[in-house]
């Protein structure tokens, strides 16, 4: 018989050796909320960029319509609508020419999206010199 036995010693364990399942789940929940917020922010930024581009193109259309009026003879007063596309946007320009006041005529150019004539995207107001013919 063997007379030499070693006494039983439990293995040393470190209570902080790893993460528990609950800790991992909480960390994943926090990360998923942060990622969802980032995706929403990115989506809103892309939408705002598209609207800004559309408004910039609308302002170019208004400036072009005003430039056309400046180089031509002003038509009679009233409101006119005409297509004024810019890039790939089908804009409608609404031009309002007022009565002459001391040789100057007030002009307002409003730009709307063709499919939605209720939302004004750009507006320019000025007074143009009335040329005598």
Can you list the residues of the chain whose pLDDT is less than 70? 1-6, 8-17, 132-133
Determine the pLDDT at residue 1: 56
pLDDT tens sequence across 6-37:
676 666 666 666 788 999 999 999 999 999 99
* Of 126, 120, 132, residue with least CA distance to 59: 120
How far is the C-alpha of 133 from the C-alpha of 124, rounded, in Å? 26
**Which one is the CATH code of 21-129: 3.40.250.10, 3.40.50.1240, 3.30.1300.30, 3.90.550.10?**
3.30.1300.30
What are the boundaries of each domain within the chain? 21-129
How far is the C-alpha of 116 from the C-alpha of 131, rounded, in Å? 35
Determine the pLDDT at residue 77: 85
Determine the pLDDT at residue 2: 58
């Amino acid at each position: 018989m063997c007379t030499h036995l070693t006494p039983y010693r439990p293995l040393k364990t470190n209570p902080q050796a790893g993460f528990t399942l609950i800790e991992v789940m909480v960390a994943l929940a926090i990360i998923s909320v942060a990622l969802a917020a980032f995706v929403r922010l990115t989506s809103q930024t892309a939408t705002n960029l598209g609207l800004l581009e559309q408004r910039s193109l609308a302002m170019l259309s208004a400036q072009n319509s005003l430039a056309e009026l400046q180089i031509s003879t002003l038509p009679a007063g009233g409101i006119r609508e005409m297509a004024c596309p810019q890039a790939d946007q089908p804009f409608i320009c609404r031009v309002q020419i007022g009565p002459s006041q001391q040789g100057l005529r007030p002009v307002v150019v409003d730009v709307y999206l063709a499919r939605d004539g209720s939302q004004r995207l750009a507006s320019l107001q000025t007074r143009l010199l009335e040329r005598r013919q």
